[in-house]
Amino acid sequence: MKISVVGCGYLGAVHASSLAKLGHDVVGVDIDQAKVDLLASAQAPFYEPGLPELLGETLATGALAFTTDLSRVRGAVVHFIAVGTPQQENSNAVDLRAVESAFDAIIPHLTAGDVVVGKSTVPVGTAQRLAARIEAVGAHVVWNPEFLREGYAVKDTISPDRLVYGVRPGDDHAVAVLDEVYASVLAQDIPRVVTDFATAELVKVAANAFLATKISFINAMAEVAEVTGADVTQLADAIGYDQRIGRKFLNAGLGFGGGCLPKDIRGFMARASELGAGDALNFLGEVDAINLRRRERMVDLCREVLGGTIEGARIAVLGLAFKPDSDDVRDSPALDVAARLAELGGRVRATDPQAIETSRRVRPGLDYVATAKEAARDADVVLVLTEWREYRDIDPDEFGSVVAVRAILDGRNCLDPVQWREAGWTYRALGRP
């Protein structure tokens, strides 16, 4: 099928190349010329394992192309809209300007029978409002939320846990067209939920709200563990064995960040308030607050280990990305903590396997170095803030020879305290004795 994907960021670039891999003829459109140039030369504008290979393969066969020229969507029968929906600058609400303008801009290029598929995460009610404009030219609208995780984006796109189609009741044409788009995904027996617009929009934000709540739940337990001497990692293991609870998303530490969970729970609360259902989501305010408190606690722990003052201390920060296998620093807890320590007068030297350039753009004043050893040279304390494999694998004995003081703070509960303490380190973590 001939398909267009409008918006080629983290979501759209992966979606476009994955659909090309699944056998479709795909054109990706973005307004950012630099991004389009990179993608067209098979370079991913961000770090995502497997994406450069996928781009290379599908561009080479001619199944995929990128452009800034929206008129090239003509002839495609399905148009995915995957533009950004960030948090508004001065409120918790979602900034829908990119979605609105992408929908408006595509209308002159549509043919009756085309299907416009919203993939961006939007406040409930958006699809219903935008659909009227699209339907006026005889095209159809589906809201098909995306659940991929950065770092696993290609796998999650080709083999998702489920597909959700939000359609106008009885729009069999739209359902049939999407089934054709996803034929090889559905062939893997992936569950498919066909529902109305509002439910599809809500499924997306509800899923992210649930994940955020699970993380903040375990971080709330970490707060209590800290004042009782209990170990939140063992607690998570023990409750996680209960299959109704499950161990996934129960890793306590610095909490959630990234371009989605934080802004999605805030946008969800803002939308529910507009609709008069704000009270139903009051708990998400607490989820957000617990999450942000973890960053402060990390700074306090650092101060404590340094004997009461951060000013002038040499602090090594390992990890800046919001999670491993990503260079994304949008609302990154790690970068936030690093910046806060520097603001408090700490002599911070920070590193990350992939996120130095992205961090530099947001926090140009920090001192970035290429390796963990460089960061840790003569340090008074080392902080692990993103659980990259290479940090988890550090040999405490060998690493001890570069620092001034053997003190390590494990912001992600990803190190073995016994191993570090046996090597003579002061080991401290969030929610763990």
Ligand X SMILES: O=C(O)[C@H]1O[C@H](OP(=O)(O)OP(=O)(O)OC[C@H]2O[C@@H](n3ccc(=O)[nH]c3=O)[C@H](O)[C@@H]2O)[C@H](O)[C@@H](O)[C@@H]1O
Ligand Y SMILES: NC(=O)C1=CN([C@@H]2O[C@H](COP(=O)(O)OP(=O)(O)OC[C@H]3O[C@@H](n4cnc5c(N)ncnc54)[C@H](O)[C@@H]3O)[C@@H](O)[C@H]2O)C=CC1
Residues with active-site annotation: 260
Q: Is 257 in the site for ligand X (CB under 6 A)?
A: yes
Residue 242 DSSP one-character state:
S
Site string for ligand Y, 266-305 (x = CB under 6 A): ----------------------------------------
- Distance, in Å, from the CA atom of 289 to the CA atom of 416, rounded to the nearest integer, reads 28
> What do you get for the CA distance between the two ends of the chain, in Å?
57
- Distance, in Å, from the CA atom of 386 to the CA atom of 274, rounded to the nearest integer, reads 36
Residues 6+ apart with CB under 8 A from 221: 232, 235, 236, 252, 431
Out of ligand X, ligand Y, none, which partner does residue 346 contact, by CB within 5 to 8 A per kind? none
The answer to the question of whether 213 is labelled as a binding residue is no
Chain centroid offset of residue 407 CA:
30
Chain centroid offset of residue 199 CA:
22
The answer to the question of whether 330 is labelled as a binding residue is yes
- The residue count of the chain comes to 433
- Distance, in Å, from the CA atom of 403 to the CA atom of 380, rounded to the nearest integer, reads 7
Q: What are the start-end ranges of the H helices in 113-169?
A: 126-135, 153-158
Segment lying near ligand X (by CB under 6 A), choices 67-75, 256-264, 276-284, 403-411: 256-264
Q: Is 150 in the site for ligand Y (CB under 6 A)?
A: yes
Site string for ligand X, 117-156 (x = CB under 6 A): ----x------------------------xxxxx------
Nearest residue to ligand Y by CB is 9
Out of ligand Y, ligand X, none, which partner does residue 255 contact, by CB within 5 to 8 A per kind? ligand X
The answer to the question of whether 150 is labelled as a binding residue is yes
Contact with ligand X (CB under 6 A) among 4, 17, 157, 208: 208
Q: Is 102 in the site for ligand Y (CB under 6 A)?
A: yes
Shortest spacing between CB 39 and ligand Y, in angstroms: 10
Residue 18, burial from CB neighbour count under 10 angstroms (0-12, 13-18, 19+): buried
287 vs 382, which CB is nearer to ligand Y? 287
Question: Taking the C-alpha atoms of 329, 334, 338 and 341 in order, what is their torsion angle to the nearest 10 degrees?
Answer: 140
Token digits of residue 242: 């209960």
Pairing of strands 115-118, 78-81: parallel
Q: Is 249 in the site for ligand X (CB under 6 A)?
A: yes
Chain centroid offset of residue 268 CA:
16
Q: Is 386 in the site for ligand Y (CB under 6 A)?
A: no
Q: Is 85 in the site for ligand Y (CB under 6 A)?
A: yes
Token digits of residue 212: 């955020």
Chain centroid offset of residue 317 CA:
21
If we measure between CA atoms, which residue out of 306, 299, 304 comes closest to residue 404? Answer: 306
Q: Is 201 in the site for ligand X (CB under 6 A)?
A: no
Shortest spacing between CB 218 and ligand X, in angstroms: 7
Q: Is 251 in the site for ligand X (CB under 6 A)?
A: yes
The answer to the question of whether 68 is labelled as a binding residue is no
Residues within the interface to ligand X (CB under 6 A): 121, 146-150, 208, 211, 215, 249-251, 253, 255-258, 260-261, 322-323
Can you say which residues are annotated as belonging to the binding site for NAD(+)? 30, 35, 85, 121, 150, 263, 330
Can you say which residues are annotated as belonging to the binding site? 30, 35, 85, 121, 147-150, 204, 249-253, 257, 263, 323, 330
Residues within the interface to ligand Y (CB under 6 A): 6-12, 29-32, 35, 82-85, 98, 101-102, 105, 120-121, 146, 148, 150, 259-260
